[in-house]
Amino acid sequence: RSLNHFVDKSISFYRGDSPSIVMGNELEGRLLVLKKSLAVYFINRNNILFTENPDLVICLIWELFETRVPLGVHPTAMVSDKALIQSNCSIGAFAVIGDNVELGNNVIIDECVVIKNCKIGDNTHIYPGVKIGSPGLGSHKDKHGVWHQFPHVGRVVIGKDVIIQDNSVIARGSLTDTIIDEGVHIGPLSCLAHNVNIKKNVLIGQSVTIAGSVVVGEESIIWGNA
């Protein structure tokens, strides 16, 4: 719960540095997570957890209680007989899984996702509306003014423990693969072009556009609308 809705039998947190913001909160039957730097102001108070990173603690607590997605394929999903899918995956309503697709263990594909020409590693979660594996933009004009599409024969290779959020688009590689390494988190409405190479544990914010063949190094953070 947020501090404004901090009720009995709930957990809340404060990431800031001003003790006055939380001084008046009733903590009986509740747990409050604060920065270690505030401990000196709350020496005689119970039910407070002090930590370097309150946000991370809330994330870890949430993972303990998060509801597991049901395994199996939703009856409205369209899954190619040629796709290689582990039995412990979840494929949501109206998802489309094409021929040249491999899904590892514990992969979650939410509703209305379209995946083609793609290999996805274990424990990866693809949120609603994501499109993966169509050709990227690579058009060239001839002397008559006619546009011709550059060939796209690569795949999208996604590692384990990746999150790709709602309505993002990732293009397949042109002559080599588009690569999203393990531990990458991609925010909603982002667009990654062909042959992009995203290294391990990168965080990409919402509505980010990354042009073709860009390499993003390990542990990088690219925030919204870049």
CA 71 from centroid of its chain's CA atoms: 19
Among 5, 144, 148, 194, which one carries the catalytic annotation?
A: 194
CA atoms within 13 A on the CB side of 220: 14
Known active-site residue 152: no
Max Cα–Cα distance, the chain, nearest Å:
81
- 169 vs 27, 111, 141, CA distance in Å? 45, 15, 25
Q: Is residue 206 a contact partner of residue 187, using CB atoms and an 8 Å limit?
A: yes
φ, ψ (nearest 5 deg) of residue 57: -60, -45
Active site residues: 194
